[in-house]
Every structure is written in C-alpha cells, then in structure tokens.
Amino acid sequence: MPNLVRWLLILGITFLALQHFLMRQPLNVPISVIEQSIASGSVERLRFHPESLYVEAFIKPSDKNSKGGTLVQARAVSPQHLDEIRRRAEAKGIMYGTANPPNPFWASMFSMVLYISIFCGIWYFIAMRQGGKSGGRGMFNFGDSPAKRFQPGLRPKKTFADVAGCDEAKEELKEIVDFLQNPGDFMRLGSRIPKGVLLVGDPGTGKTLLAQAVAGEASVSFLSANGSEFVEMFVGVGASRIRSLFEEAKKIAPCIVFIDEIDAIGKKRGVAVGGGHDEREHALNQLLGELDGFVGNNKIVVIAATNRVDVLDEALIRPGRFDRQVYVPVPDVAGRKAILEVHVKNVKLAPAVDLEIVAKDTAGMVGADLQNVVNEATLFATRKKKSAVEQSDFSEAVDKVTMGAERKSMRLSEKEKKLTAYHEAGHALVALLTKDANPLHKITIIPRGQALGYTKQLPPDNHCTTKEELFARVKVAVGGRAAEELVFNTVTTGAYSDFLNATFVLRRMVYEFGMSENAGLVVHKEKTDFFGHPSGVDASQKTKELLEKEVNDKLNEIYKQVKKLLEEHRVKLDLLAALLLEKETVTADEVRKTLSLPAIQ
C-alpha cells in the first residue's frame, strides 16, 4: 500500500504541473496595443476583469488565410478607462464578456482536491484491475511472490495413485514424503534430506503431477510458480520475488516449493545479452542464496522441473542445492497402459475395450498425450450417441492425436488419389519386405492434417537401435517416392517429409552415432549458440564435405535398392494400391491376407 500511495502522489503532482503549463497563457502588452487593435477591427473578442482592471483580447492573424491568433492582456489605468474601452468595443461590434469574481480560497482548494481525488480513484481502479490479472500482486507490487498457494484439504489432493508410468521416480520421491512426515527419523542418525529435487524429463511426462503428489501424500502446503515469473524487465524484481517466495514458505512450513521450467532462471551464467540477462542472473544468485540458507529442520523441500538439464548452471545442481535428480522417463507399453487406466477411471468403457491394444498403438506418447487420447475417444463416442466408449473410438482418437483430424471436405482427383495410394503402398510394402523394419499397423489414404495419406508402424519400446534398424527406417521412408517413380515415371513433392526424415536419420548415423564408413568413430555433434539455436557442426569444412558426401551417397544407394525391391514385387504393389483405392483404410492383417503373407505371431 505505501508503494501505491507514493506513486499516486507523484502522478497527481505531475498531472497538476502539466495542467498548469499546458494552459494557454496570454501575452502581456501595453494597453495602447489593444486600443489600436480595437480601432483597426483586428480584435475578435474581449474579456474584462473589473477587479484587477485587466482586459484580455484575442487578436486575429494579419494573414486572412492563416489560422489561429494571439491572446494578449493589458491593464487599464482606471475603472473609467476600462469602461471607455468597453464602449469602443460595442461601437465596433466586438464580442466581449466579463470574468466572474475569483472564488474564495477554500473553494479553489476544494476544486483542486476533487480533481486529484477523481484522478487518483481512476488510477487506483486500473491498478487493482491490473493486479487481478497478474495473480493478485497489484500494479506496483513487483517484488511480491508469484507463487500460487494450495493448502491441504482445500481442494482434491493428488497422490501417488494418480501418477503412473514412472515407478522408479515415485520410489525416490517417497523418501521426501517420509522426511516431511517424520523428520525425526532422518535426523536421529544424522541424515540430511536433499534441499532440492530436480525432476528431469520430456514435456508431458508428469513432472508437475509428481510434485503435487508429493505434497498430497505428505499433506503439506504446496507453493507453485513458473521460472519465467521471476524474470522481469526491472532489475532486482526477480530476486525480490524469490525472497518473498521463500519467506512465505518459511511461514507455512512444512511445505513444498515447486518451480516449473526452472531453466528460465537457472541457465548457465555467461556473456550478458541485454538487461534481461542481468536480471536473470540476479534472480539465480538469490535462488542459490536461499537454498544455501536452509537449515536442516526447516521442513521445506524445493522441487523443480525442467526438460533442459544440460543448460542449467553447475552451481545450481551441485550437492547441497538441487543435489538429487529424478529422471521421469517416457513410458513404455506397461507404463502407458497404467496411465490409461488412471485416466479412464471416470470414463464408461465398453466391455470389449482392451487398453493394452491402445498402449501398443501409442508408442512414444507421454502422459499428457494419453490423457488427450482418452478425452478424444470420449468425444468421438459422444458424437455418435454411444452408451459407452468402444475400441474403435480409441483407434480414431489415436489417429487424430497423431496425424490430425480427417479432412473429409477435401476432394482429391482420381489421379491424385491413385498416386497417393501407390505412394502409401510403397511405404507399406517396403516395411513388410524389409527384415528389420518396424511392424506395419495401418495404412490410409484419407487426408489428415497436411498429409494426403499415412502409413503407420508400431515401433517397439527399445532403448537401443541397431544400424540395420536405422537403415530399415530410411528404406521405408523412401519407399513412397520409389513407388511413384516406378509406376508413374515421375515424382511429386509429396515425399518432402519422407526425405527430410531419411536425411535426419542418416546424418545422425554419420555425424553422431559413429556409423560412418569414412569418418570412423569420431562424433561431430551440432553446436548451439547462446540462445540454444543450431550454429553448425563441430568439424572442419573438409570433414563436413566428406560427411555430407557420405550421407548423399548412402541415401542414393538405398533409394536404388528400394526401387529394385519394388520392381521385383510389382504385382504385390499393384494389389496393395488397389486395396487402398477400394477401402481407403486397411489394417496390417488385411494387407497380409491380400498379399498372401504370413501373419505376425
């Protein structure tokens, strides 16, 4: 409140000063100038002040084409002189008026106070509105804590039962819960609980949910803030907010302080780029100081989350600060099934729904994606007026989340439709005939998103990928273009993303995975600049030319192999394209049956 009063006083004084200086002040001239102007008819209007004997005159410009004029004033010799000037003005037909007598002092003061009060009231209203939009901090309370506070019992709490797919991470965090519930057991043997826990994982893996679950299990208060809220254009604001955050945490201890996206303030310190960089460093230094200031029994645990642990300052993650890193992985099949089971608790499912099939169909998805899949499946079932969500709804939901909604209004010409069918048939046939390729799941030529068709494979949850599997990915990627050229003797732009993916895989094989035939085992990783943007490969120009030539040669070699493979199985390619043109969407089992291939065991 003192900050607000100070600012309102400053603004009020500024307003009065501007009002005073911007008012048009008359120019003082001899009384003879006004008399001569009246006689010549160049006065437009007059205003008389009987108490002070002053007369104001607005004199027309000498040039008739110009706009404006001059406001002047002069003092008459006596009241009789003032009356004489009035009579001359009447004779010339000049408009004139008489000024009101000046208000008493108290009336002038009342008027001024009224103006200031109205101005301050409007400003205060705007300040309060702005404060509501910025989390209740107020327009001038820059240094207040931005954290949202959640007290136990005031809302449905999250527990570890609401978190699935990351059992190891939950086990590590259960130790934090035990400390908050029974700190004496740890101190009895001289143990020191970590002051800070850093949750590391891809976006959507459940880092925020884990932090909320720790607070829910321990039944303690939860303060949540985003790292970007500590960085402002004013130097010192971020540091002040961090101080306020930890002061609030000490008042309500035991509690958990959660800072999401901590890389916004915790990046490595280096060369300053603008004032915002200096402000971020001030905020980081304050955070380091607050972590150092913890005592062993204050019952405050700081949990932070990031998906860029590589950019964090070493001082932040050293022992004694964020000294424990808990990795939250992308879930495997079992993890995805467990996550789906959590999200379908309140969903009415048909008896035939098998969540394991959905889990296998969603390889690479994280918790947030799976939650979206469940929601989309319920929406599909609702639109079709079903009494429960069926397996087909989940299948459609996965396709929508993966590739986008069906573009039913898009009409393809027969030529485009046939070309798309052969393109997707090329991908699918290469996937079926290549030993190390990922299993085929579904093919469609119904446009989705920006794609005219889509061939879906189900990658296994492997943690390592062999050289042969990487080459198989490239072969499947170029299969569409090879089929186009083989059948239509031309190529289209439809294979752009395919070659983009193929080039990406081959580049990583040659540059980073030590699979180069020319460069050997040396890793040439791509460098990044201060902002995290790619800035070139860490290699000499000659080496880069050598590596790029190898990537190009290998891509051309694989393309020729794939084209030859499709030539040898041209009959199967035609059968598969015809099946797609007939049904538009086919499963892997339908494809194998049509091509007389053995089913996958």
Asked if 349 and 223 sit in the same domain, the reply is: no
204 marked as binding residue: yes
Domain for residue 117, yes or no?
no
According to the model, what pLDDT value does residue 21 have? 52
pLDDT, position 179:
80
In a domain, 124, yes or no: no
Instruction: For residue range 338-383, list pLDDT tens digits in order.
Output: 999 999 999 999 999 999 989 988 888 899 999 999 999 999 999 9
Residue 205 counted as an annotated binding residue: yes
- Written as one string, the DSSP assignment of 5-21 is HHHHHHHHHHHHHHHHH
Q: Which of 289, 308, 327 is the last residue of a domain?
A: 327
Is residue 206 part of an annotated ligand binding site? Answer: yes
Q: What is the pTM of this model?
A: 0.70
Is residue 427 domain-resident?
yes
Q: How confident is the model over 551-570, as pLDDT tens digits?
A: 999 999 999 999 999 999 99
Residue 189 CA from chain centroid, whole number? 45
**pLDDT band (50, 70, 90) for residue 278:** low
Q: What is the pLDDT of residue 244?
A: 87
pLDDT at 235 over 70: no
Range of lowest pLDDT (4-18, 39-53, 330-344, 346-360): 4-18
- 521 and 398 share a domain? no
- Mean local confidence (pLDDT), 140-146: 52
Report the number of distinct structural domains present in the chain.
Answer: 4
CB 424 within 8 A of CB 580: yes
Residue 131 marked ligand-binding: no
Q: Which of 229, 290, 424, 550 is catalytic?
A: 424
Which has the higher per-residue pLDDT, 190 or 48? 48
Pick the most confident of 18-22, 128-132, 165-169, 267-271.
Answer: 165-169
344 falls within a domain: yes
pLDDT in tens, 280-306: 788 888 888 888 766 555 678 889 999
So what's the pLDDT on residue 349?
A: 92
203 labelled ligand-binding: yes
Q: Is 59 exposed, middle or buried (0-12, 13-18, 19+ CB in 10 A)?
A: buried
Query: Across residues 580-586, what is the average pLDDT?
Result: 91
Distance CA 138, CA 185 (A): 43
Same domain, 12 and 71: yes
Domain span at 387: 335-403
Question: Is residue 176 domain-shared with residue 40, that is, in the same domain?
Answer: no
Distance CA(141)–CA(136), nearest Å, equals 9
Binned at pLDDT 50, 70 and 90, residue 313 comes out as confident
Q: Are residues 296 and 343 in the same domain?
A: no
Q: Which residue has the higher pLDDT, 47 or 539?
A: 47
Neighbours of 393 (CB within 10 A): 25
The pLDDT of residue 131 is above 60: no
- Edge-to-edge strand ranges of the sheet holding 95-98: 27-28, 70-75, 54-59, 43-49, 95-98
The residue with tokens 């070659």 is 499
Residues 575, 449, single domain; the answer is yes
**Which CATH number belongs to the domain containing residue 239 in this structure?**
3.40.50.300
HSE-CB at 302 with a 13 A cutoff on CA atoms is 29
Q: Is residue 545 among the annotated active site residues?
A: no
